[in-house]
């Protein structure tokens, strides 16, 4: 296979010295073995890769970072298309629209937007890919006030499965535009995305932490608390079993704890009044303070570099006392778990389906999202983490919502959407990629 003459970027093959680096995902535990890797440097490189794949009978798997590489499965006879060199970031402060290349990570956008007093609906981690995150939905620290990031997309440049580059928006390829907003990258390869930003520079944000032994008291109080908070508050409760890593802050290093993290888009006195009942529980750590929106990526303490990890999540239709008891029974201090973190994110507000209309996923029909993750340096630890995640899923089964959320699903999963959305996504796939050339992490088959 040689189409290197057409490329501005690079083709890397198994005998090349940098093969192992080129095929590596952000999730280091995922052993990607594609037929070849292309580092695309231009949209034309993506077109050339798609045409070459067609001729060779191969598939193409676009990948920004590999944060959600685990569900891709076998990449046998697939070209891994790395978009990391598509690094354009431009912001129009008048229209408040950002245009970003497919390889851009969130920190680049939040930093650039903050220069204009603007914020983006970024996720918790600085190095997650903007495009992969947004195509899958995008639950940000402003999710309850602004809804999913995908529904702020206004246009995309997309390479289709026939190798052509098209502009996709409300007037051009409207069905594909609908599918891209929450339905994942199933029917086209995005080379650039344009989306709305919002005027905001600072919020009240922070974490309260207690020893893990206090989890029942703290999470019961948080569960009651979220019933009354305004949509300006997006929060989560989590169980953390932290390793003694030097880059963790000293009071947390090597400790097991229960924590509440929140962003309150409210004036400080109002946020303080809201937080009072949680502070009354005597946290040993309280980091709430006025925080620049471009610093919010520090709040969740996500690793800023690739790690070997395995995780998975699900949506919960509610969290009544029985569900919370099941969660505490599985994840509380009495258990010796291989999970670094298990969290419950409060949904609702502008995440309710239809509240911010737009694409294939116009909200999450659930009250909470649960996500658990463990560090997995070897295959045995991957199996141990998956076993516990299976137990947790079973324990929470009675409260699992009928639909799922792509971004928090790190294993193959049957169903994310209501049946009519799945059928419409299938029709888009049939129209744009009938031979299933594009290999997405959460695929939609062209046929039933
Ligand atoms: C540490 C961490 C923190 C996270 N925090 C959040 C959070 O706060 N909120 C949230 O909603 N999610 C969060 N996620 C989940 C994250 O949004 C998903 O893993 C997402 O898929 C990552 O996108 P990516 O491009 O970085 O990953 P990748 O693995 O590169 O991409 C995932 C998939 O997206 C598709 N895709 C990527 N690029 C393209 C493209 N150019 N064209 C077409 N399809 C494409 C492909 O199907 C690909 O397999 C987090 C994940 C991690 C590991």
Which domain CATH number covers 123? 3.30.465.10
Look up the CATH number of the domain holding residue 288: 3.40.462.20
Residues 359, 422 share a domain: no
Query: What pLDDT is attached to residue 2?
Result: 63
Angstrom distance (rounded) from CA 288 to CA 330: 29
The β-bridge partners of 84 are none
Residues 114, 263 share a domain: no
Q: How many A from CA of 5 to the centre of ligand 1?
A: 31
Residues 229, 136 share a domain: no
Of 22, 37, 49, 63, the one to substitute when testing ligand 1's pocket (max ligand atoms within 8 A of C-beta) is: 63
Q: How many A from CA of 81 to the centre of ligand 1?
A: 15
| Residue 245 structural domain | 202-408
Instruction: Report which of 105, 151, 153, 148 is spatially closest to residue 130, judged by C-alpha positions.
Output: 105
Angstrom distance (rounded) from CA 257 to CA 208: 10
Residues in Cβ contact with 272 at an 8 Å cutoff, skipping those fewer than 6 apart: 204, 288
Nearest atom in ligand 1 to the alpha carbon of residue 303 is: 1
> 82-105 b/e with 16+ CB inside 10 Å = b?
bbbbbeebebeeeebbbbbbbbbb
Residue closest via CA to ligand 1's atom 20 equals: 133
DSSP calls for 391-414: HHHHHHGGGB-SS--GGG--S--S
413 in a domain, yes or no?
no
Q: How many A from CA of 125 to the centre of ligand 1?
A: 11
Nearest atom in ligand 1 to the alpha carbon of residue 149 is: 11
Residues 209, 193 share a domain: no
Angstrom distance (rounded) from CA 333 to CA 216: 10
439 in a domain, yes or no?
no
Residues 217, 186 share a domain: no
Residues 309, 402 share a domain: yes
Contact indicator for 40, 46 with CB cutoff of 8 Å: yes
Residues 195, 250 share a domain: no
Of 29, 64, 121, 205, the one to substitute when testing ligand 1's pocket (max ligand atoms within 8 A of C-beta) is: 64
Pocket of ligand 1, beta carbon within 6 A: 62-69, 72, 83, 102, 123-125, 128-129, 131-133, 135-139, 184-185, 189-190, 302, 407, 440-441
Say whether 100 sits in a helix, a strand or coil: strand
Residues 321, 240 share a domain: yes
Angstrom distance (rounded) from CA 289 to CA 271: 10
Angstrom distance (rounded) from CA 403 to CA 394: 16
Residues 303, 388 share a domain: yes
Look up the CATH number of the domain holding residue 55: 3.30.43.10
Contact indicator for 209, 241 with CB cutoff of 8 Å: no
Nearest atom in ligand 1 to the alpha carbon of residue 188 is: 43
Nearest atom in ligand 1 to the alpha carbon of residue 373 is: 53
Query: What pLDDT is attached to residue 248?
Result: 82
Residue closest via CA to ligand 1's atom 17 equals: 133
Residues 212, 117 share a domain: no
Contact indicator for 215, 328 with CB cutoff of 8 Å: yes
Query: What pLDDT is attached to residue 227?
Result: 96
444 in a domain, yes or no?
no
Q: How many A from CA of 411 to the centre of ligand 1?
A: 13
Contact indicator for 215, 396 with CB cutoff of 8 Å: no
Q: Which two tokens stand for residue 335?
A: 């258990």
Residues 258, 391 share a domain: yes
Angstrom distance (rounded) from CA 234 to CA 346: 7
Contact indicator for 410, 364 with CB cutoff of 8 Å: no
Q: How many domains does the chain have?
A: 3
Q: Which two tokens stand for residue 25?
A: 């995902």
248 in a domain, yes or no?
yes
Output the tens digit of pLDDT for each of the chain's 448 residues. Answer: 567 777 999 999 999 999 999 999 999 999 999 999 999 999 999 999 999 999 999 999 999 999 999 999 999 999 999 999 999 999 999 999 999 999 999 999 999 999 999 999 999 999 999 999 999 999 999 999 999 999 999 999 999 999 999 999 999 999 999 999 999 999 999 999 999 999 999 999 999 999 999 999 999 999 999 999 999 999 999 999 999 888 788 888 999 999 999 999 999 999 999 999 999 999 999 999 999 999 999 999 998 899 999 999 999 999 999 999 999 999 999 899 999 999 999 999 999 999 998 999 999 999 999 999 999 999 899 999 999 999 999 999 999 999 999 999 999 766 899 999 999 999 999 999 999 999 999 999 888 7
Residues 207, 112 share a domain: no
């Amino acid at each position: 296979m040689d189409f290197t003459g057409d490329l501005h970027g690079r083709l890397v093959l198994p005998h090349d010295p940098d093969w192992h680096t080129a095929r590596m995902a952000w999730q280091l535990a995922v052993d990607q073995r594609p037929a070849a890797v292309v580092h695309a440097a231009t949209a034309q490189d993506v077109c050339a890769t798609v045409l070459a794949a067609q001729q060779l009978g191969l598939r193409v798997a676009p990948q920004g970072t590999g944060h959600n590489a685990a569900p891709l499965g076998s990449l046998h006879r697939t070209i891994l298309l790395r978009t990391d060199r598509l690094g354009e970031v431009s912001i129009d402060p008048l229209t408040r629209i950002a245009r970003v290349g497919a390889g851009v990570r969130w920190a680049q956008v939040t930093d650039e937007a903050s220069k204009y007093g603007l914020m983006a609906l970024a996720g918790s981690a600085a190095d997650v890919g903007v495009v992969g995150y947004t195509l899958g939905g995008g639950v940000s620290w402003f999710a309850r006030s602004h809804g999913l990031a995908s529904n702020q997309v206004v246009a995309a440049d997309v390479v289709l499965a026939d190798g052509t580059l098209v502009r996709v928006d409300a007037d051009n390829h409207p069905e594909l535009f609908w599918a891209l907003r929450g339905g994942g990258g199933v029917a086209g390869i995005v080379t650039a995305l344009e989306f709305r930003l919002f005027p905001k520079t600072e919020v009240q944000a922070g974490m309260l932490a207690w020893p893990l032994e206090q989890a029942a008291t703290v999470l019961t109080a948080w569960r009651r608390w979220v019933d009354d908070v305004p949509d300006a508050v997006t929060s989560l409760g989590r169980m953390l079993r932290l390793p003694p890593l030097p880059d963790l802050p000293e009071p947390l290093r090597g400790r097991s704890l229960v924590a509440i993290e929140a962003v309150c888009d409210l004036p400080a006195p109002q946020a303080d009044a809201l937080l009072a009942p949680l502070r009354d529980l005597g946290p040993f750590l309280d980091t709430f303070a006025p925080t620049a929106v471009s610093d919010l990526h520090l709040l969740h303490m996500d690793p800023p570099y690739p790690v070997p990890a395995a995780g998975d999540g699900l949506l919960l239709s509610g969290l009544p006392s029985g569900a919370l008891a099941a969660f505490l029974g599985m994840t509380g201090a009495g258990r010796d778990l291989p999970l670094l973190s298990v969290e419950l994110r409060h949904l609702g507000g502008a995440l309710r389906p239809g509240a911010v209309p737009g694409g294939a996923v116009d909200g999450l029909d659930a009250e909470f999202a649960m996500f658990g993750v463990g560090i997995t340096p070897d295959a045995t630890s991957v199996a141990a983490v998956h076993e516990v995640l299976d137990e947790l899923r079973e324990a929470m089964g009675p409260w699992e919502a009928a639909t799922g959320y792509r971004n928090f699903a790190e294993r193959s999963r049957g169903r994310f959407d209501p049946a009519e959305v799945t059928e419409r996504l299938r029709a888009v796939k049939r129209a744009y990629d009938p031979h299933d050339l594009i290999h997405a992490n959460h695929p939609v088959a062209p046929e039933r």
